[in-house]
A and B are shown apart, each in its own frame.
Chain A
Amino acid sequence: MSTAKPISIVENFEIYAPKLVDKEEFFCSGHRACQGCGEALAIRLMCKALGKDTVIANATGCMEVIATPYPATAWTLPWIHVAFPCAAAVGAGVEAGLKVLRRKGVNPDRYIKTVTIGGDGGTVDIGLQALSGAMERGHDMLYVCFDNEAYMNTGIQRSSATPFGASTTTAPAGKASIGNKTWKKNVPEIMVAHNIPYVATASPSYPIDFMNKVKKARSIQGPTYIHCLSVCPTGWRAKSEECIKLGRLALETGVFPLYEVENGVYRLTVEMPDPLRPVTDYIKTQGRFRHLTPDEIRDIQGRVDLEYRKLMNKVEHSLSWTE
């Protein structure tokens, strides 16, 4: 049972930020992301936490499109993109290559971290097999999923990370449909089931928490996974200036709690309000949910409560497998 009290220092961000956040940019401005893109912000913060000695493998998706229109690139870290479903396998190859070249004295004798990134489609749908394989084999690699809850790059099609009731271009709301009819797939939990040393959820709305998790994952030699909720104002039909606010409401309503699972032990990393705010606070400003009736919102509230109780049960009762 975890007793550490969750700490939230985001309220004092302006005081802490200059001391805690690296000024060097590894994901530079000038890229073509939409206004208010939560994913581009998250990647910028992730890179600051990772530092220079990092190689990035990127799945196909918004981030590859907006950041690398040849001959321009937003990346100052070494970066490779191959295809949509295979980022984790590419990362596995990068990790193996860096390891063997260092061992053979071809590369300098210095530790370089391999980090693989992908969106929800490239991670939880088409990339799930490659991700599972890479995690199961134990590559020394951090995988970060930037989950914006649909295939935004191709035009807001539904993925298995799309929440129940959201209207997407392939699961649209209509007279005969609520929109997306399935509950969001819990991929962090699938990663926990791989018995890897570190799994966490994160959000750029809590930047210090996110960067601390990236730093912790970077320091662990082995497979680690961070699932980062990345608000997409374009796809969520929300105002671009509400990106950060929506990420915080996702936490405060219990829709997306921030936690980490270290060697099997669950711990909340950002304090949750008690009681949680109602889910309506989160969904009412998002156009993708605006067709929902009060009854349907009640169903969503029930499910959010249940998932939150399940998580808290693990926070209170999980056992470490290293002790």
Chain B
Amino acid sequence: MSKRIGMEIALAAAEAVALCRPDVIAAYPITPNTHIPEHLSDIVAEGRLDAEFICVESEHSAMSACAGASGTGARAFTATSSQGLLYMDEVLGIVSSMRLPVVMAIGNRAISGPINIWNDHSDIMTMRDLGWLSLFAANGQEAVDMMIQSFKIAEDAAVQLPINVNLDGFQLTHMVEALFLPDQKEVDRFLPRRKPYAALHPDHPVTMGALGMPDIFTEATKARDQALVDSRKVILKVWKEWEKQFGRRYEPIEAYKTKGADVVMMTMGSMGETAEIAVDELRKDGVPVGLLKLKLWRPFPFEEMKKAVRGVKTLIVTDRCCSLGGPGGPLAAEVRSALYAEAARPVIENALIGLGGRDVTVDDFKQMFRQAGKSKGIYEFYGVRG
């Protein structure tokens, strides 16, 4: 039976990964994800998990070792943050192209420069187009649940793609929360052993990672895109299964008090819970506001997005990242393109907030709600000095 415990979220996420019985873990230290692999190495050292733990010499090698291990049919896991993710970048698209269901936890952190170890989403946004499935956790419970769901989604015969679970650095990774940790029997029932489509073994030799010439590259790209688009069905199926077994519901976009709301805020990750309090307080004062929390970043839930904003007059999309010299935040750009062809769509404002660990308080959210409709330009840096 699941039991309710108080635990640092990174450690709980590591416990969740261990419950999935990974075969190979390869990781390199970088703040703030480090507690996840550290705790996994503890679990291996204690003999609670039979896995090969490789202390690689870089993140590039972490992802490469995961690719090699996953190629043999092993269940492979890694975790990283920020510069570590960027250092892996070269390998990330190759892993998805080879359809290797590697699972990665990302303790989200700003990318340099200036160097900054605190949270925003600029790291994950650099890899959004590389063919990985991408989930965002809003709290510790979601982090634990998504870790376990990820293996099942990634390894599904119809998916066979890598997946990352995003946990806001410090705001989630280093917080102690009360959460339910499933037990081994429950996870074993939910998650069977991986059945690879192909595996490196002399009994059934296979060439993995062949050269794709111009006559096949477009087809290979289309096939990968289609696999990502189609993975949505599997994600929804796995989430239904999860709800049935564990009683906790997951949706690509979770709506919070959006009924009758004129102004709706949209968040990804841990800020959702702060924004909920702002919504509660404003609603108490009679201001009709609501909140959308995005949990599924890739594949982007276009259909759910259209439904979620029906009747909304103003949508404030928050982004913890700036696409420098571009359209503002990456989430807002996606939302705009999802809604562009809709006959009736809300006015979309884009607030760039919480960059490099800047606190965003309940009052900040209330202030953003109050300023709705007054934004100049297609995006603005909320609360910026000078």
A69-B210, A99-B52, A101-B72 are contacts. A93–B65 as well, Cβ < 8 Å? yes
Interface-forming stretch among B55-63, B265-273, B285-293, B368-376? B55-63
Contact A101 B23 (CB under 8 A): yes
Contact B74 A101 (CB under 8 A): yes
Contact A83 B94 (CB under 8 A): yes
B193, closest chain A residue (CB): A106
A116, closest chain B residue (CB): B68
Chain A positions within 8 Å of B325 at CB level: none
CB interface residues, B 23-75, toward A, < 8 Å: 23-24, 26, 50-52, 54-58, 60-62, 64-74
Contact with A along B229-251 (1 / 0, CB 8 A): 00000000000000000000000
What is the interface size of chain B, counting residues whose CB is below 8 A from a CB of the partner?
Answer: 47
Contact A73 B56 (CB under 8 A): no
Contact A93 B68 (CB under 8 A): yes
A83-B91, A85-B60 are contacts. A97–B68 as well, Cβ < 8 Å? yes
A75-B205, A96-B54, A99-B52 are contacts. A70–B213 as well, Cβ < 8 Å? yes
Chain A positions within 8 Å of B54 at CB level: 92-93, 96, 137
Assembled-state Cα–Cα distance A71/B219 (Å): 13
Contact with B along A86-99 (1 / 0, CB 8 A): 10111111111111
Contact A97 B64 (CB under 8 A): no
Among B24, B64, B90, B208, residue most surrounded by chain A Cβ atoms (within 10 Å):
B64
B113 at the interface (CB under 8 A from A): no
A89 contact from B68, B94, B210, Cβ within 8 A: B68
Contact A97 B56 (CB under 8 A): no
Contact A129 B58 (CB under 8 A): yes
Contact A82 B94 (CB under 8 A): yes
Contact A77 B208 (CB under 8 A): no
B326 at the interface (CB under 8 A from A): no
Contact A94 B200 (CB under 8 A): yes
Contact B208 A80 (CB under 8 A): yes
B67 contact from A93, A101, A108, Cβ within 8 A: A93
Assembled-state Cα–Cα distance A92/B95 (Å): 16
Assembled-state Cα–Cα distance A77/B208 (Å): 11
CB distance from B62 to the nearest CB of A (A): 8
A90-B64, A93-B26, A101-B74 are contacts. A112–B201 as well, Cβ < 8 Å? yes
Contact A86 B210 (CB under 8 A): no
A53, closest chain B residue (CB): B202
B343 at the interface (CB under 8 A from A): no
Contact B90 A80 (CB under 8 A): no
B69 contact from A70, A86, A93, A107, Cβ within 8 A: A93
Chain A positions within 8 Å of B91 at CB level: 82-83, 86
B208, closest chain A residue (CB): A80
B386 at the interface (CB under 8 A from A): no
Contact A93 B73 (CB under 8 A): no
CB distance from B20 to the nearest CB of A (A): 14
CB interface residues, B 59-113, toward A, < 8 Å: 60-62, 64-74, 76, 90-91, 94-95, 98
Assembled-state Cα–Cα distance A94/B76 (Å): 11
A96-B24, A97-B71, A97-B73 are contacts. A82–B64 as well, Cβ < 8 Å? yes
B206 at the interface (CB under 8 A from A): yes
B212 at the interface (CB under 8 A from A): yes
Contact B76 A93 (CB under 8 A): yes
Contact A70 B211 (CB under 8 A): yes
Chain B positions within 8 Å of A161 at CB level: none
A93-B67, A94-B71 are contacts. A77–B202 as well, Cβ < 8 Å? yes
Contact A64 B67 (CB under 8 A): no
B206 contact from A52, A57, A78, A101, Cβ within 8 A: A78
A52-B202, A93-B26, A133-B56 are contacts. A81–B208 as well, Cβ < 8 Å? yes
Among A89, A94, A101, A136, residue most surrounded by chain B Cβ atoms (within 10 Å):
A89
Contact A94 B69 (CB under 8 A): yes
A96-B65, A101-B73, A130-B64 are contacts. A89–B56 as well, Cβ < 8 Å? yes
A104 at the interface (CB under 8 A from B): yes
B216 at the interface (CB under 8 A from A): yes
B203 at the interface (CB under 8 A from A): yes
Assembled-state Cα–Cα distance A52/B69 (Å): 20
Among A75, A80, A94, A100, residue most surrounded by chain B Cβ atoms (within 10 Å):
A80
CB interface residues, A 45-61, toward B, < 8 Å: 52-55, 57
A79 at the interface (CB under 8 A from B): yes
A96-B74, A137-B55 are contacts. A81–B209 as well, Cβ < 8 Å? yes
CB interface residues, A 103-145, toward B, < 8 Å: 103-104, 106-108, 112, 129-130, 132-133, 136-137
22 contacts across the A-B interface (CB closer than 8 A): A53-B202, A77-B205, A79-B206, A79-B208, A80-B209, A82-B209, A89-B64, A89-B65, A90-B64, A90-B71, A92-B68, A93-B54, A93-B66, A93-B70, A96-B65, A96-B68, A97-B76, A104-B50, A112-B201, A132-B57, A136-B57, A137-B55
Nearest first, the 9 A-B pairs at minimum CB distance are: A93-B68, A97-B72, A133-B57, A93-B65, A89-B61, A86-B64, A81-B209, A89-B64, A97-B74
